[in-house]
Amino acid sequence: MTARDRFLKALAGQPLTRPPVWLMRQAGRYLPEYRALRMKHSFLEMAHTPTLAVTATLQPLRRYALDAAIIFSDILVVPEAMGLPFAFREQGGIEMAFRVADRDSLGRLTVSGAAVRLEYVAAALRQARAALPNHALIGFCGAPWTLATYMAGGAGPLTVLWREQRAVFDDLLRGVGAVCGEYVRMQAGAGADAIQIFDSWAGQCPAELYRETAARWLAPLIAAAGDTPVIVFARGVRDWRHLAVSGARCLGVDEHTDLATLRLSLPENIAVQGNLDPLTLTADTATARSAATALLEKMCGARGYIFNLGHGLRPETPPENVSALVATVTGWRDA
C-alpha cells in the first residue's frame, strides 16, 4: 500500500492497520533546511515561485515517513489576489494593507480574475504531483469567515460589520467565497488528492451567529471541490452539528476537543483528523512518543482517522521530536 493509498482509504473510512500521518505546518520554521532557504528568499517570494514552493513542500518528506504533503503557500494569497496585500510584521503577526470596514474599502477589492492570479499555486501543485506519485498531496484554502476576519481587521470588527452594515458583510463574504470556490476547483484540477479548508478563526465567531455568518459559506466551497475530498479544520468550534452536514469528508479537530468522543458522535462517512497538542513536541523525544502513543491507543480501531496535530507545528519544535512522533505512528499496528 502506498502512502497515498493509505491516506485516501482513511478519508473513505476503510480499515487500516495504522492511520496515515501528516502534520500541519510540517514545512516550516522548525526545519534547519527551511530556515536556510528563507535566508535566500522571502516568504512571499517562495509562495509565489512554484519551484521554491515545491522545494519547501518536499523538505519534510525527505526527513520523515509522512503519508501526505501539503503544498507550501498561505491562506492570505486569496485576499492578496483580490487586491488586498499582506505582510508579516518583524515582531510577529500579519499586517494587511488596508481594512475592509465599509462600502468604499470593499470597492477596492476585485473578484473577477482573482483566481486566475493564483495560477502559480496550481503550477506548484502540478510540479509537486509529478514529484510525489506515491504520496498524498493536499491543497488548501482559507474559509471565507477566516479570510474575512483578516480582511476586516479581526473577528470583532467583522462581527460589527455583520451587525451594522449587513449588506457590506454579505458582499464581502460572497466575493471571498466566489474566489475561494474557483481557487479550490483550480487546485483539485491541478492534482490535489484532498483540499483542507482552514477556518482558523471559527472559534472567534459568536456562537449564536456561527450558522449564519461562518458555517453557511462552507457548503458551497466544499461543493466546488467536486469529487476531491475536503477536510475542514475549524479551530475552536465546539458545536460540530453544522460542520457534520457541510459536505466535508473529514473534520480536523484541535487539541481542546476529545477526539474519540467526537468520532462516536459523527456519521460513519465522516473521517476525523488530529489532534495532538503541538506543545508536546517542544519537550523531548520521550514525551513525543508517549503523547503519540496515548492518542493512538485512544483512537485504536477507529475507521476514518488521520493522525495530525491540533494546530500547526511550533517554530521551536526540535526536528528529532517530530522524527520520534512519525516513527511511533508509522510503527503502530491496530490490535
* pTM of the model as a whole: 0.96
In a domain, 211, yes or no: yes
Tens of pLDDT, residues 223-269: 999 999 999 999 988 888 889 999 999 999 999 999 999 999 999 89
Average pLDDT of the segment spanning 21-30 = 97
Q: What is the pLDDT of residue 334?
A: 64
Q: Buried (b) or exposed (e) across 92-120, using 16+ Cβ within 10 A?
A: eeeebeeebbeeebbeebebeebbebbeb
DSSP state of 49: -
Structural domain range at position 139: 3-330
In a domain, 78, yes or no: yes
Mean pLDDT over the full length of the chain: 95
Point out the catalytic residue in the list 18, 38, 63, 126.
38
Higher-confidence position of 138 and 333? 138
In a domain, 335, yes or no: no
The three-state secondary structure class of 145 is: helix
Point out the catalytic residue in the list 18, 29, 63, 216.
29
DSSP labels, 240-252: -HHHHTTT-SEEE
Q: Other C-beta atoms within 10 Å of 212: how many?
A: 12
Q: Is the pLDDT of residue 206 over 90?
A: no
Can you name the residues that pair with 158 across neighbouring β-strands?
none
- Number of separate domains in the chain: 1
- Tell me which residue of 10, 40, 27 sits closest to 329, measured CA to CA: 10
Catalytic (active site) residue 25: yes
CA–CA gap between residue 190 and residue 192 (Å, rounded) = 6
In a domain, 76, yes or no: yes
Point out the catalytic residue in the list 18, 25, 63, 126.
25
Tens of pLDDT, residues 37-66: 999 999 999 999 999 999 999 999 999 999
Q: Collect all residues with Cβ–Cβ distance below 8 Å to 270 and sequence separation of at least 6.
A: 244, 248, 249, 250, 251, 304
H-helix or E-strand spanning residue 319? helix 319-330
Point out the catalytic residue in the list 34, 64, 150, 305.
150
Catalytic (active site) residue 38: yes
Q: Domain of 38: which CATH number?
A: 3.20.20.210
CA–CA gap between residue 253 and residue 262 (Å, rounded) = 9
Point out the catalytic residue in the list 6, 34, 67, 74.
74
Percent of the chain with pLDDT over 70: 99
